[in-house]
Amino acid sequence: MSDMVMEMVAGADLYTLAAVVGSLVVAGGIYYLVFVLGPAETKGKSAVELGGGSLNRGEVADNYKAYADFFKKPKEIENAKQVPKLVDTFYNLVTDIYEWGWGQSFHFSPAIAGKSHREETRLHEERVADLLHAKPNDKILDAGCGVGGPMRAIAAYSKANVVGITINDYQVARARSHNKKAGLDNLCEVICGNFLNMPFPDNSFDGAYSIEATCHAPQLQDVYAEIYRVLKPGKLYVTYEWVTTPLYRADDPEHVEIIHGIEHGDALPGLRSYSQIVEIAKEVGFEVLEERDLALPPALPWWKRLKMGRIAYYRNHLVIALLSFLGVAPQGVVDVHEMLFKTADFLSRGGETGIFTPMHLLVCRKPEVTQ
């Protein structure tokens, strides 16, 4: 009888030990995902820091609902006066998630064989500096700078002084913090403002660029005209535009669904055709020196990054759901993350069908003698 009891005790000890080890493994995994795992490209945010930008914790869910309601009423999104608020709300909701899961550069890049996402991003940003012929002591404008990933890459590469503007005050704080940590706050300056009405004098910049940012403008003419105004005569403007391609058909229901999905998930008042942007640039006075879609071959599919991120999404969604359940992350963050996942699917479909590109390059010059 005593031998049987001893065996039961030993078995119970083994069961307890296995349970303890299992618990430690699970706890260790959660600790790694929540506290250690940082952004895809550069550490800066951990999962426990996910929030709503400048919004109070209790405002996140209501602001997400208000954002979603914009797209239930098409006439609302068509109202130009509503768009700046919409974009500001969007970036309050998504900035932390973007940094945690994507890095500090909120844009796509041409995929290059043998290069990491981080290398592809750096090369795509440095291309802008090369196209602008940026050099030390130049004053360069970043119109729609986000948290400043491209700004820092371009400043470090060219040694030019880069001034960024973003409508979201939370992004301003994040960009300034990143600039200081990178030791680039002597070259990089960030202000909060609307790129449709910038607080800069006429003819004050030696170059300007926007990377996947002017798609948020209700009227592209307005932002192009404002950039034209602040550029010195003879200087260059480089932009990577989100547009529909020649393959897009407005009478194809699938095409329409994809484009509307991209617009909803990225706070866009309406995607423009590739053919429109050249005409608009010319209308405001620019000379168009170069125009091409950088997503076309020999570039590899830019959307591969979204496809590869599906596993990460499910992992991240589990973490966010857990943090929201525990009260660490604000209510509404789960909904925002789910929206971004659905948007990633629309973006992937846009790339696979060839009807959408996030990197239509335009190189413009302000004439030496302006009218």
pLDDT digits (tens, 9 = 90+) for 49-63: 888 888 888 899 999
What is the rounded CA–CA span in Å between residue 190 and residue 188?
A: 7
User: How does strand 188-192 pair with strand 161-166?
Assistant: parallel
Q: Could you tell me if 220 and 82 are in contact, meaning their C-beta atoms sit under 8 angstroms apart?
A: no
Nearest to 151 by CA among 110, 116, 180: 180
Residue with tokens 């499910």: 314
Confidence of residue 121 (pLDDT cuts 50, 70, 90): very high
What is the rounded CA–CA span in Å between residue 283 and residue 280?
A: 5
pLDDT tens digit string along 148-206? 999 999 999 999 999 999 999 999 999 999 999 999 999 999 999 999 999 999 999 99
Q: How far is CA 181 from the centre of its chain?
A: 20
Q: Is pLDDT above 70 for 308? A: no
Residue with tokens 């948007």: 343
Nearest to 135 by CA among 245, 203, 11, 235: 235
What is the rounded CA–CA span in Å between residue 99 and residue 84?
A: 22
DSSP of 222-235, one letter per residue? HHHHHHHHHEEEEE
First to last CA, the chain: 105
- Range 116-130 burial, b when 16+ CB lie within 10 A, else e: ebeebbbebbbbbbe
Tokens of 117: 């996402």
Q: At what angle do helices 333-353 and 253-265 cross, to 10 degrees?
A: 140
Tokens of 99: 């940094």
Q: Could you tell me if 356 and 271 are in contact, meaning their C-beta atoms sit under 8 angstroms apart?
A: yes
- What type of residue sits at position 117? H
What is the rounded CA–CA span in Å between residue 146 and residue 167?
A: 9
Confidence of residue 12 (pLDDT cuts 50, 70, 90): low
Higher-confidence residue: 103 or 10? 103
Tokens of 365: 């010059």
Tokens of 185: 């706050």
pLDDT tens digit string along 271-305? 999 999 999 999 999 999 999 999 999 999 999 88
pLDDT tens digit string along 66-107? 888 887 765 555 566 788 889 999 999 999 999 988 899 999
Residues in the chain: 371
pLDDT score recorded for residue 73: 63
Looking at every residue in the chain, the average pLDDT score rounds to 87
